[in-house]
Amino acid sequence: MLLHVFLLFLCFHLSFCQVSLRLHTAQEELVEKKCLAKKYTHLSCNKVFCQPWQKCIEGTCICKLPYQCPKNGTSACATNGRNFLTYCQLKSLECLRPGTKFLNNGTCTAEGKFSVSLKYGSTDSEGIVEVKLVDQDKTMFICKSSWTMREANVACLDLGFQQGADTQRSFQSSNLSINATECLHVHCRGLETSLTECTFTKRRTVGYQDLADVVCYTQKADSPTDDSFQCVNGKYISQAEACNGINDCGDQSDELCCKACRGKSFHCKSGVCIPSQYRCNGEVDCITGEDEVGCEGFASVAPEETEILTADMDAERRRIKSLLPTISCGIKNRMHIRRKRVVGGKPAQLGKMKQISDIFKGLHKVYTLEFCCIILK
């Protein structure tokens, strides 16, 4: 009897080990090693579309000059107090000179200021997120319900942490009691350089709200393990966070070399994983275009009743993108233009070209002599 129990336990243990090994192997097989060696990021136009203020040159998104942006658009104000004709022109200059950042849509005002800070943290890299909007008099916290890794990465980048938010550590807010009956919701795409480019809204809520917190990534805090994935920007995340449709790295390098995607994220034929909400959203996100194919009858989520506090700059980005020239496959039909050409004649043979050259030289001497005689007369 004891022997049977021991054998049963041994079989169960071996089966569990095999399942665990298969799961670990499956996680590693999602990422293509050869592709990772090419160090693709959000600036690799072999994998993703460039921003409207960038252009693709030899596989890399580089900055356009401001005059190369579409002329149509709403004016924008930069953090240095300078007004720009369009949002695209401002972002183009920011691309060239990173010190210039977007502040608000419209013209600049003397009192217009935006700030983001982390409160109640033991270091300057962690805490509860607090912001002051340009047209608001007081600072407010961010609601946790709308806070994702996209917003966390942008907030940390805005605070000067170039590698974004830490995915492994969380802020410990024990023994912290804050009146959170009023907070702001924020939505970012994840590649903004400042929280001012994200959309802030206010929803009707009853009772207390959990507040958004973040721990920004610092190189000293984390050390790589066997289960770590190294981003192109040097940041380390868990292997399980690669190919999940979420830009955990901040430079998108964890989503660009995927054989398949985790969860409900959508897999592009180019090996890129995008969030499920990007499927059939009216904008092509896969460079191969399949995320907008077969969208007939695709149900969209109805927006909640909200008060919009800042301009939707992501909508402005999409609008600018729609104004850019499109590339057509094949040869375009063009009007026939008549060109002068030589008709008839025979192919020249070896040695004939010297004779023709001598004839032209002789004619040149004759006409030159005649021209001189006319002048003398």
| Per-position pLDDT tens, the chain of length 377 | 554 444 444 444 444 343 333 334 344 578 999 999 999 999 999 999 999 999 999 999 999 999 999 988 889 999 999 999 999 999 999 999 998 899 999 999 988 899 999 999 889 999 999 999 998 889 999 999 889 999 999 999 999 999 999 988 888 765 666 656 688 999 999 999 999 999 999 876 666 678 899 999 997 766 677 788 999 999 999 999 999 999 999 999 999 999 999 999 999 999 999 999 999 999 999 999 999 999 887 666 555 667 889 999 999 999 999 988 776 555 555 555 555 555 566 666 666 556 656 655 665 554 554 544 444 44
- For 307-348, the DSSP string reads EE-S--HHHHHHHHHHHSPPP-SS-------------S----
Name the region of 302 (left: φ>0; alpha: ψ -120 to 50; beta: rest). beta
Answer whether 235's CB lies under 8 Å from 164's CB: yes
Q: What integer pLDDT is reported at residue 242 of this predicted model?
A: 95
CA 22 to chain CA centroid, nearest Å: 33
Question: Which run of H or E residues covers position 353?
Answer: helix 352-376
Residue 25 domain-assigned (yes or no): no
Q: What integer pLDDT is reported at residue 23 of this predicted model?
A: 38
Q: What integer pLDDT is reported at residue 327 of this predicted model?
A: 63
Q: Which residue has the tokens 């008060």?
A: 307
Tokens of 38: 């090419």
Q: Which residue has the tokens 């973040």?
A: 214
Tokens of 18: 């095999």
Report which DSSP code applies to 21.
H
| CA distances, 236 to each of 218, 233, 304, 330, 349 (Å) | 10, 9, 36, 44, 71
Gap between the Cα atoms of 367 and 373, Å rounded: 10
Tokens of 235: 């940041």
Query: In CATH, what number is assigned to the domain containing residue 203?
Result: 3.10.250.10
Q: What integer pLDDT is reported at residue 20 of this predicted model?
A: 39
Antiparallel, parallel or unpaired: β 185-187 and 199-203: antiparallel
Answer whether 236's CB lies under 8 Å from 230's CB: yes
Expressed in angstroms, the distance from the first to the final Cα of the chain is 136
Gap between the Cα atoms of 287 and 50, Å rounded: 10
Gap between the Cα atoms of 11 and 189, Å rounded: 48
Answer whether 150's CB lies under 8 Å from 195's CB: no
Residue 147 domain-assigned (yes or no): yes
**The total number of structural domains that make up the chain:** 1
Q: What integer pLDDT is reported at residue 166 of this predicted model?
A: 93
Tokens of 253: 């390098």
Residue 330 domain-assigned (yes or no): no
Residue 257 domain-assigned (yes or no): no
Residue 252 domain-assigned (yes or no): no
Residue 151 domain-assigned (yes or no): yes
CB atoms under 10 Å from CB of 109, counted, come to 13
Query: What pTM value is reported for the model?
Result: 0.77
Report which DSSP code applies to 267.
E
Q: Which residue has the tokens 């999409």?
A: 318
Residue 12 domain-assigned (yes or no): no
- Residue 213 belongs to domain spanning: 113-222
Residue 256 domain-assigned (yes or no): no
Gap between the Cα atoms of 371 and 310, Å rounded: 80
Radius of gyration of the chain (CA): 31
